Amino acid sequence: MPALPTAQEPDSALVRCFALVPCAGVGLRAGAAGPKQYAPLAGQAVVAHTLAALASVSRLSQVLVVLAPQDTDFEAHAPAHRGWVARCGGVTRAASVLNGLAELRARGAAAQDWVLVHDAARCLLRPTWVDRLIDACLNDAVGGLLALPLADTLKAEDPEQPGRVVSTLNRNGKWAAQTPQMFRLGKLQQALQAAELSGLAVTDEASAIEHLGLAPLLVPGELENLKVTWPADFALARRLLQSREQ
């Protein structure tokens, strides 16, 4: 990764792109012995695959990984990472991202710069998908996210009878959000701070931007850009990685 100019240098006025990877979760749903981002997958930790893809995107000025304050394992699991690391993770994803944005500002990033927030567990990311998002959003007034139009029929679970269907939902116009999600650094800070103050539980960056009354751009993603969440996801991700090698 190229070194970032300091805030005092003339280049600080240029609009740049940064990646921010929240990596402070504990991964309880994955069934792993520890955080899922450190689980082994095809010879490397999950997060190592993720960071290798981001490191290959030439338009990213830097990649910042946000860790839990007590995390002492990251360097052992991602020895090839040459970007930034900050142990400032919060108790929620939104808190980790907000703390990471403050860290980027402290290291010289400007409010008008773009930040691409990407899940550590979306380890099948390809650099071409990141470039697709940058191309689509770079001149957009709001920014956007990779996402997939839903193809499956959607069922709502009955809250009074867990495990049973209460209704079928209309899937028309519905998209499954992915990452990266790309927004102006200052605007995303504002959105996450507003959500925090109002007590809104935002599960991704786009939802915080939406609460400001803005409409993020939907950029078609890829089915392969899955988030490793459940135990079965590891087997699928392993097969997909092996098929790439072959």
pLDDT of 21 higher than 90: yes
**78/245: higher pLDDT:** 78
pLDDT of 213 higher than 50: yes
Closest CA relative to residue 122, chosen from 145, 139, 104, 88: 145
pLDDT at 110: 97
pLDDT of 190 higher than 60: yes
pLDDT tens digits along 34-85: 789 999 999 999 999 999 999 999 999 999 999 999 999 999 999 999 999 9
pLDDT of 10 higher than 50: no
Centre a 10 Å sphere on the Cβ of residue 134 and count the other Cβ atoms it contains: 18
d(CA 34, CA 145): 29
Provide mean pLDDT across the span 98-105: 98
Q: Measuring CA to CA, how many Å separate 89 from each of 7, 109, 156? A: 24, 19, 33
Provide mean pLDDT across the span 231-242: 93
pLDDT tens digits along 150-183: 999 999 999 999 999 999 999 999 999 999 999 9
pLDDT of 7 higher than 70: no
Provide mean pLDDT across the span 230-238: 93
d(CA 234, CA 114): 31
pLDDT at 4: 46
How many Cα atoms are found within 13 Å in the side-chain-facing hemisphere of 57?
Answer: 28
Provide mean pLDDT across the span 16-24: 97
pLDDT of 30 higher than 80: no
Are 119 and 97 a contacting pair, CB within 8 Å? no
- Take residue 84 and report the two structure tokens written for it: 């930034």
Residue with tokens 């770079």: 138
Are 65 and 84 a contacting pair, CB within 8 Å? yes
pLDDT at 33: 58
CA 141 to chain CA centroid, Å, is 20
Are 69 and 177 a contacting pair, CB within 8 Å? no
pLDDT at 34: 73
Output DSSP code: residue 13.
Answer: G
pLDDT of 90 higher than 60: yes
pLDDT at 180: 98
pLDDT of 9 higher than 50: no
d(CA 201, CA 196): 8
pLDDT of 220 higher than 60: yes
N residues, the chain: 246
pLDDT at 64: 98
Are 57 and 99 a contacting pair, CB within 8 Å? no
3-class state of residue 242 by DSSP:
helix
Options 3.90.550.10, 3.60.20.30, 3.30.70.60, 3.40.50.620; CATH of 13-147+176-245: 3.90.550.10
Q: How confident is the model at residue 28 (pLDDT cuts 50, 70, 90)?
A: very low
pLDDT at 25: 78
| Average per-residue pLDDT for the chain | 92
pLDDT at 31: 45
CA 159 to chain CA centroid, Å, is 30
Q: Give the predicted TM-score (pTM) of the model.
A: 0.90
d(CA 127, CA 140): 20
pLDDT at 154: 95
